Structure 1
Amino acid sequence: MIDKFSIPCIILSGGKSQRMGEDKSLLPFGSSSSLIEFQYNRLKPYFQNIYISSKLDKFSFLQDKKELIIDENIDIYSPILALQTIIKTLENEKVFIITVDTPFITLEIIEKLINSSNNFDITIAQTSFGTHNLCGVFSKTTLTLIEDMIKSDIHKINYLIKNSRTQNLYFENEEEFLNLNDKAEYKKALKIIN
């Protein structure tokens, strides 16, 4: 029996998947019928609560529809809008955010991000490649800035990160942060998982 994280996990799955050319969250992955199902099943045992953030309900495997957070604004694709809806929807002071297309982020990485997040508004992962802006812990304290950004039509996650008390935690292994943006990265990930 493992101690589950009390902080909720939210898998972001509402992007356009433009570079992939089709909805990457629904692509088959490993022994799962879709990448989103793989991520959900992989992470669920470690969190007391897990949610999927999306523009619409496209997840037939999801038994409990309370685990789905639909963006308030379904016309504009922006992680800032997704964060606003997530933070407003959930009561928690902090949430752990991960994207659907990063299936190799380990439990050790997640644990380090959560355990190091206490005195910060945002705690995100960094590798030699750069920061991984949507892999980390986000606090309710960011909501005012997020709402101001939306009013000002600012949708850059970097803006939120630069204007918050942010901590970047460094991780060595770049491979664990492999991001499935296009067909080549998807094929590479399939080789790893198989």
Structure 2
Amino acid sequence: MQNHANFSLKLPICVILCGGKSSRMGQDKTLMEFGEFSDLTHFQFAKMSEIFKSVFISAKSQKFDPPLPVLTDEFDEFSPMGAIYSILKNFKDDKVFIIPCDMPFVEISTIYELYENMGNCDICVASDEIRQHNLCGFFDTGITKKALNLYENNNHKISNLLNSVKFKAVKFANSEQFHNINDKFDYEKAISLLEKEI
């Protein structure tokens, strides 16, 4: 991994995904307490605000207390492709970093490295030895119409979008940073990881 001497350069836009069903958790995980923050979303918002000029939340509604800047998902159904379109349509000629709310340990250096590797790609996402993380990366707003077309044709998987544009996956050695909070076991592990960081 590259060493970044200066993280003072603020990146343009970050959008945190908070519109999932949380079915495996049994409750809305985006509103679960996390560290010193009232919920996981406010934790992510504070973290991303340190390195991005603008940070937004992608969600079905304004469900946060205190309120956060929400980009409302245009569609009622839970569709990753619909969420991508609903995010990108708000911006023009820019690169938007998208990250799930339930992936709180992604390293700052990883985000900068993804940005540096974007080049002339439409999408640049993170990967590790285990899997590719299609919803953790930079998305160029030039693919907005492509995302809408795929959604309208009932193609909801982000892999379909990646296969239809120029994209790059950057591999990172530390897979633990991509720990995903899906159920209560994952949540307990995340709390343990958080305590180690403090």
Give the TM-score band, short-chain normalised: over 0.9
CA distance in 1, matches of 2:159, 2:111: 21
Change (3 A) 1:144 1:91: closer
Displacement of 1:121: 0.5
**Letter of the 2:103 counterpart:** T
Displacement of 1:153: 1.2
**Letter of the 1:123 counterpart:** C
Matches within 5 A, 1:34-73: 34-62=39-67, 67-73=69-75
In the superposition, the TM-score normalised over structure 1's length comes to 0.94
Q: Which runs of 5+ in 1 are unaligned?
A: none
Q: CA RMSD in A?
A: 1.3
* 1:96 alignment partner in structure 2: 97
* 2:135 alignment partner in structure 1: 134
* 1:12 alignment partner in structure 2: 17
Displacement of 1:92: 4.3
CA displacement 1:7-33 (0-9 Å, x = unmatched): 200000010011111100000001111
* 1:159 alignment partner in structure 2: 160
CA distance in 2, matches of 1:115, 1:122: 12
CA displacement 1:59-113 (0-9 Å, x = unmatched): 1123xx5x2100111x210121111111111234210000100000010000001
* 1:78 alignment partner in structure 2: 79
Change (3 A) 1:12 1:92: farther
Displacement of 1:40: 0.5
**Letter of the 1:160 counterpart:** L
Q: Which runs of 5+ in 2 are unaligned?
A: 1-6
1:33 aligns with 2:38: yes
- SS of the aligned residue for 2:50 comes to helix
**Letter of the 1:3 counterpart:** L
CA distance in 1, matches of 2:123, 2:182: 24
Give 4+ residue runs of structure 1 displaced > 3 Å after superposition.
none
- SS of the aligned residue for 1:193 comes to helix
* 1:2 alignment partner in structure 2: 8
